[in-house]
Amino acid sequence: MPKTMQVLARVLLPGSLAALVASVAPARAAAQMTGPGASIVGVVFDSLRGVGLQGAVIRIGGTTREVRTNERGEFTLDSVKVGEMMLEVRHPLLDTLGENLDSRPFTLVTGQRGVLNVRTLSLEELRATSCPRSGANFGRAIMLGILRDADADTSLAGGTASLVYKDLFAGDGMERVRTSRIDPSGRFVICGLPDAISGTVQVARSGKVTAEVHVETKGQLFSTVGLTFGTTAEMKAVLRGRVTQQSGLAVPGVQITVAGTPVVAVTDSAGRYRLEGLPSGTVEVVARRIGFAAATLTANLAQREPRQLDFKIAAAQVLAAVKVVGKLDNGLQKVGFLDRKGRTGGYFMDPSEVERRHAQLFSDLLVTMPGIHVTNVGTGRVIESSRASGCMNFYVDNALFETYQPGDIDAAFSAQNIGAIEVYASATDTPPEFTVPGKACGTVVMWTRDRLSRP
């Protein structure tokens, strides 16, 4: 039998180790050497969630020899070259925590078996070191986040993270907002959260913001979120992917847009798409096609390699009529509608006005808007600007929407799901965030109820 030595690192607490005896035993039994040298076995334990840490990389320092932990957090390194060494432990959770679980240098001799059992911080330890003893406190859960430079792939200091959420167990539908400064290590922590929440996280830094990332916890006392930020003005990121139905059948003709950019792609016969010239960072990507419900995902883009993002979309359902409620006001504020209404030369239709119109089609809402011409052509309607040679750009929920034939936008969106509209009759009136390079046109910006009612 090989001799056993304990590799020096943060070891498991006695209670945690006892809980893992049953799962560790198979790993140790499998650790009998299959060749000359020594062996190393062990467990990496996620003390925050009370489970083994799956997917942690255990690497012998200074070499390319590595192994990943299984679903129970176990690992085995067989036929290890004897001598002095150290073990490196890598996992995204450790990056977010800022934890180093690397072992101290040790020496293995032929026939010896090293054992490395390590754990992360516990929830109590994290709360003691990161959470203030006073301030907003609605529960016992903690959210930990990290902001990284999208292209340098390093932590990024500065800025503010905001969490807008609803308590899923409260049943009152009330939205709450929590904010946290991003520290010099690029991390932020929000303490005192309810056990189950649904909401979005967004980072603001140097006058720019990331897309909103959806977060949802259900009885989890610890959660993490990662966002990236582009620090250069270069637009060199690439996004590609495929759009299918739930059955796996490819969907051609789907428009793929990235919110806040003029770039548009359309899926081919195999459902594939590719977008180039995109900004780095966390962005919102929207997939739309007439007859299908729009799908929205977030992606972390970087210049160093294309990002793969696949969509599954479902057939659109006709929405029942919905009465306007004041809850959409928060959404109007978040998307900048109210701010632009107070400082630009556009024309604005808020949710209450949309409700009063009882429109059957999106274009019905534009018929009386200044600077807009709506005409019937064949089986659809053409929406044109009266001040820009008829040229008109359309944005839906901050993403460019391209029309290919009359009536496209009417067919794509149910009038019952329209929340608010902004109209800019010419390019000079249009705010910079809605301009399209090379297309000096008027602009119609439409916000759906789905977008305005997000937490």
- Considering the domain architecture, whether residues 164 and 131 belong to the same structural domain is answered as yes
- Considering the domain architecture, whether residues 266 and 351 belong to the same structural domain is answered as no
CATH number at residue 96: 2.60.40.10
- Considering the domain architecture, whether residues 284 and 300 belong to the same structural domain is answered as yes
In a domain, 57, yes or no: yes
- Considering the domain architecture, whether residues 94 and 128 belong to the same structural domain is answered as no
Identity of the residue numbered 95 = D
Q: Is 341 left (phi over 0), alpha (psi -120 to 50) or beta?
A: alpha
* Of the residues 104, 119, 134, the one at which a domain ends: 119
- Contact by Cβ (8 Å): 381, 362: no
- Considering the domain architecture, whether residues 253 and 287 belong to the same structural domain is answered as yes
Cβ count near 176 (within 10 Å): 17
Mean pLDDT of the chain: 86
- Considering the domain architecture, whether residues 127 and 109 belong to the same structural domain is answered as no
Identity of the residue numbered 132 = P
- Considering the domain architecture, whether residues 363 and 270 belong to the same structural domain is answered as no
At 379 the pLDDT is 74
CATH number at residue 207: 2.60.40.1120
Q: What span, in angstroms and rounded, lies between the C-alpha atoms of 450 and 417? A: 7
Radius of gyration of the chain (CA): 27
* Of the residues 256, 278, 313, the one at which a domain ends: 313
- Contact by Cβ (8 Å): 267, 256: yes
- Considering the domain architecture, whether residues 115 and 127 belong to the same structural domain is answered as no
Confidence category of residue 27, pLDDT binned at 50, 70, 90: very low
Does residue 240 carry a pLDDT above 90? Answer: yes
The span from the first CA to the last CA of the chain, in angstroms, equals 59
In a domain, 323, yes or no: no
Does residue 262 carry a pLDDT above 80? Answer: yes
CA distances 230 to 180, 233, 300, Å, are 20, 8, 10
Q: Provide the token pair at 242.
A: 């495929």
- Considering the domain architecture, whether residues 151 and 87 belong to the same structural domain is answered as no
State the total domains in the chain. Answer: 4
What is the extent of the structural domain holding 133?
A: 123-229
**pLDDT tens per residue, range 147-171:** 999 999 999 999 999 998 999 888 7
At 318 the pLDDT is 52
Q: Is the pTM of this model over 0.75?
A: no
* Of the residues 119, 148, 179, the one at which a domain ends: 119
- Considering the domain architecture, whether residues 211 and 246 belong to the same structural domain is answered as no
Confidence category of residue 329, pLDDT binned at 50, 70, 90: confident
**pLDDT tens per residue, range 99-146:** 899 999 999 899 899 899 999 999 999 988 888 765 556 688 999 999
How confident is the model over 384-398, as a mean pLDDT? 84
